[in-house]
Amino acid sequence: SQELEQSPQSLIVQEGKNLTINCTSSKTLYGLYWYKQKYGEGLIFLMMLQKGGEEKSHEKITAKLDEKKQQSSLHITASQPSHAGIYLCGADINYGGSQGNLIFGKGTKLSVKP
Amino acid sequence: NAGVTQTPKFQVLKTGQSMTLQCAQDMNHEYMSWYRQDPGMGLRLIHYSVGAGITDQGEVPNGYNVSRSTTEDFPLRLLSAAPSQTSVYFCASSYRGVGAEAFFGQGTRLTVV
């Protein structure tokens, strides 16, 4: 079965610093999704990557999917306290590209110190 | 816009009791799913549905039942609650199709004592 490994498990950064979170799959990814979860709340969709080499950005967050489609990275530039939360990567288990049924990594807990 | 609504938000059950977690969406989404989130384990898929009348098992289906009689509703039933089912449960829905965004409910925090 497919597994997603996220690293690091937790991260504490000073406000203004850049950071990167990684998500590695045991199998080829047909759709990779990044979500953010604030403590005690539901998940918020950030972005979705499908093609090898694809890169997407939203505000100060950039996500990439490598050419072999087995690893994705999420990069935050000039981190702010509002970036704090748990970041999760997810992949479609039926390889159909939809988000109907996903497997998830265990998440990366990000804290940003002011 | 209601989006995905889960009820209740909090619940305490005694071992052996049964209950139903409710999930409703008003976006006419074909796909609906249930996940549980446990510390250090991330989210794990329990059951999912690709349309009314169609359900399938995810990673951790044991101890749970689902049905999908309407597009809007996807209840999750705990048949005989066990302490191992203490968790936060999330319901999600999405359109069918590549890249369709999944919308998550706010979660139900369940404690089984």
Q: Give mean pLDDT in consecutive 10-residue pieces for chain A, a chain of 114 residues.
A: 87 97 88 88 88 91 91 97 94 58 88 95
Chain B residues 57-86 with CB within 8 Å of chain A: 58-59
For the segment B58-81, the average pLDDT, to the nearest whole number, is 95
Residues in chain B: 113
Rounded to 5 degrees, what angle do the CA atoms A63, B40, B7 make?
90
Q: Closest to A101 (Cβ–Cβ): which among B45, B98, B105?
A: B45
Res B82: pLDDT: 97
pLDDT at residue number A87: 96
Mean pLDDT confidence for B9-19 = 96
Neighbouring residues of A18: CB distance < 8 A, sequence distance ≥ 6:
A75, A76, A77, A78, A79
Selected residues 17-46 of chain A with any CB under 8 Å from a CB in chain B: 31, 33, 40-45
Of the two residues B112 and A39, the one the predictor is more confident about is B112
The CA-based dihedral angle spanning residues A43, B83, B45, A89, taken in that order and rounded to the nearest 10 degrees: 40
Largest CA distance in chain A: 42
Chain B partners of A44 at a C-beta cutoff of 8 Å? 104
Q: Identity (one letter) of the amino acid at B81? A: A
By mean pLDDT, which of A52-56, A67-71, B51-55, B76-80 is the weakest?
A: A67-71
What local confidence, expressed as pLDDT, does residue A31 receive? 81
Q: Could B106 and A42 be called an inter-chain contact, meaning their C-beta atoms sit closer than 8 Å?
A: yes
Contacts of A99 in chain B (CB under 8 A): 31, 92, 94, 100-102
- Rounded Cα–Cα distance for residues B34 and B31 (Å): 11
CA dihedral (A107, A109, A110, B2) positive or negative: positive
A103, B50: Cβ pair inside 8 Å? no
In three-state secondary structure terms, A81 is: helix
**Most confident among A29-33, A65-69, B9-13, B55-59 (mean pLDDT):** B9-13
